[in-house]
Structure 1
């Protein structure tokens, strides 16, 4: 798996195949676009290849733990093709802040699906 910085100060955990797909997509994006360069730099510079130990545990590199504020309790959520790792307090705050918007987003994000 690949662990890297995500938005809102969480961590993204991708299966290697999905991270490769993202890598391919970004490699075909125009390097002349500043947003592509900026996003790619942060995403790839913070990416760390990891694997489970014999007990199924994964070590999160110190710099990524620091970025996400993972000092004690954390939350792991499924987010479609990736997992996200959040500091528990940060996730609770994010979830509370987004609760109202979530009910209104389905028409905008998934028209005709939900």
Structure 2
């Protein structure tokens, strides 16, 4: 499980140092792809395979499923972090997420998300009030 928020920076070679707490879970390999709200999703390779298997169950006749899979897989790249826990974020993915230098790396349960730091702060500020209001509706029985 991935938890927390971290503030690494992209270096001059477009590398990002993964938070130390995430490195062991991602050391064997990972997949980076486009996420919703203009962030990047980083999946442990095994978890991405599980998601892929679930998506294979979607009917090929579903336009929404086809569209989602095309964007998800066409933008995906696989990486293995180096010994310092760095990954290279390809140019098309940096452009998609608006990444320049300051990033926010957040734990999102079974994946990691990479955001432009300012975009994350803006998103978080906009969502915090509705988060408090929706918690009971999203997770029945959770206060």
- Name the structure 2 match of 1:3: 32
1:23 to 27, 45, 52: 52
- Name the structure 2 match of 1:56: 85
- Asked which structure has the greater RCO (Cα within 8 Å, sep 6+), the reply is 2
Q: How does 1:1-114 map to 2 (within 5 A)?
A: 1-114=30-143
TM-score normalised per structure 2: 0.78
Uncovered stretches (5+) of structure 1, i.e. residues with no partner: none
Structure 1 runs of 4+ off > 4 angstroms?
none
- Which one has the bigger helix percentage? 1
Bigger drift between 104-113 and 2-11 goes to 104-113
Give the secondary-structure state (helix, strand or coil) at the position aligned to 2:33: strand
TM-score normalised per structure 1: 0.97
Deviation of 1:113 after TM superposition, in Å, equals 2.7
Give the secondary-structure state (helix, strand or coil) at the position aligned to 1:58: strand
Instruction: Report the aligned-residue RMSD.
Output: 0.7
